[in-house]
Structures are given as C-alpha cells and as structure tokens.
Amino acid sequence: MRAEAGYWSEIAPAKINLALHVRGRLTDGRHALETLFAFCVDGDRVSGTAAVDVSLEITGPFAEALGSGEDNLVLRAAHALRERAGVRTGAALRLHKCLPVASGIGGGSADAAATLRLLTVIWNIDPGEAAAIAPELGSDVPACLLGMTSRGEGAGDALEMVTDAGISGSPVLLVNPRVPLATGEVFARWDGVNRGPLGADWRQGRNDLELPARALVPEIGDVLDWLGKQGGANFARMSGSGATCFALFDDEESCEEAAGACPPQWWHLASILR
C-alpha cells in the first residue's frame, strides 16, 4: 500500500486459477470446488481518502464496462465493512479499472478485497473485520484478500497457503478475446460429472469449466492454441470460468516477446506471479 497526493492506494492483483476442479454441490447449493489460486503483481488499483460519505469514481480502460451503482463490489465492500465496524466516517474511493470485466481473473473480487485492505488503513480498524466480511461478498474474495498462492476448497473460500517454488516469480501472460463471460452461465453448462480431486501436482490438474466456457465462447480455443505455440511457454490453461487464458513462461524475455506478438483484437497482460 502506498500514499499518493493524499490518497492511500492498494493494488487489486489479477487472479488466475492454475487448476480448477468442480467436485459437486455443497448443501447451500453452491458448487464444491478444489482450486489453486495464484496472483499477478499487476491488476486494478483502488485508492481513497477519508470523507464524510462513501463515494466511488471509476477510471481506466474498462471503466465504461463497469457500473458505479450500489451493486458495484467496491461500494458493497465499503458499506459492509463500515456497518460491521461501526465506522461513522466515509471514504472517497477511486477504482482504476485495467482488467476486463467478467473475464475469469477475479477483477470484481480483487477490487472488493483491495477496498477492504485499503479501508482498514483509512478507517484504522482491525483487519479481522475485513476477513469476516470477505466471504459475504463472493467466493473468490477471501482468496483475493489474502492475495497469495493458496489452495481453495468448499466453494473456493476455505483456504490453505501453498508454497511452490515453481509458481512465485513465474512470468505469465494473460490473454482475453474481449468477450465477457458470466460465471453463472458457465456453471449452468457444467455437465455435473465429478472427474476426481486436485492432487499435489497442479500441472496434472485441469479446469473443469473449460469445455462449457468454450461452448459459449469458442474463441477460448483459439487463445489457448496460440498461447501453446509461443516460444518459452511451458504451460497454458484457462482461468476460472473464462474467457481469460494464461501461459507461464521460462523467462521474462519470452513472455514479453509473446505479449508483443499478441493479436491486436485480444486484450493481454504480461506480468509476474507473486
């Protein structure tokens, strides 16, 4: 976290699912998942300062795709934390939206989590209050609040930290065909087949949502094929419910070369995993 011209600022890093196994249904109706979360060093950015009321300004290349109404996850996170902690002041918040919306890389969840971290500083409250709020905002928000490599079970919100030398520091290229894809639509097309647990080697895992996502957005197959052909790429998979896919690279130079060659009609982000 850093201070800029009177505003505190917090990164909302892009999330990827290195593997995502759908195992069935929980008693509350949500899907039972086993997943491995990893986070980039880059993403959206939330900044803010103390104010009388809670407000939100959205800027950035994807600002127009995101509403600023009360259903925005940044505002929902702020209001929920304020109510829980009994805070009487507000905050003037700014969201610089660099990540595409409805893209499987946790943009909204990461923004909510960054807002929670930011407001615990601005309002000087216990971070435990933010952790208590996170699951109410979405299944990915607890992982995004942690912001470190972790295994998720339950609905993805029961977390265990993971240390893997093959993840942290890996160059990664995220590519999205610029087609928004709603998570609910993808889960609705999942065939209901339990294909087995996520083992210790995530590279041997899978993303059970890839096939239903590709049925909705065939361009996902084109992105994965392109990523797999890039020099230095050693692993490629779709993230979350799509349509963003990613590749890990042997070195930053190969990753940057692939980023420079990315078809112009696709969105891309070259980064490093935390």
Computed from CA positions of residues 134, 196, 185, 25, in that sequence, does the dihedral angle turn out positive or negative? negative
Question: Tokens 């993403």 identify what position?
Answer: 43
| CATH architecture, domain defined by 171-272 | 2-Layer Sandwich (3.30)
pLDDT the model gives residue 138: 95
Instruction: Name the amino acid, one letter, at 178.
Output: R
Q: Which of 10, 15, 47 minimizes the C-alpha distance to 140?
A: 15
Question: Which position among 15, 42, 97, 208 bears the catalytic label?
Answer: 15
Both tokens of 244, joined, read 């963003």
The reply to whether 28 belongs to the active site is no
Indicate the angle between helix axes 73-85 and 127-137, nearest 10 degrees. 130
Question: Which position among 42, 111, 140, 208 bears the catalytic label?
Answer: 140
Q: Round to whole Å and give the CA distance between 141 and 107.
A: 10
Instruction: State which CATH number among 3.30.230.10, 3.40.50.720, 3.40.50.300, 3.20.20.30 fits the domain covering 2-160.
Output: 3.30.230.10
Tens-place pLDDT, residues 113-128: 999 999 999 999 999 9
- Domain locations in the chain? 2-160, 171-272
Ranges in the chain, pLDDT < 50: none
pLDDT the model gives residue 3: 63
Instruction: Name the amino acid, one letter, at 98.
Output: C
pLDDT the model gives residue 4: 63
pLDDT the model gives residue 71: 79
Tens-place pLDDT, residues 246-262: 999 999 999 999 999 99
pLDDT the model gives residue 2: 67
Q: Which of 111, 226, 232 minimizes the C-alpha distance to 172?
A: 232
Is the full-model pTM beyond 0.75? yes
The reply to whether 15 belongs to the active site is yes
pLDDT the model gives residue 7: 82
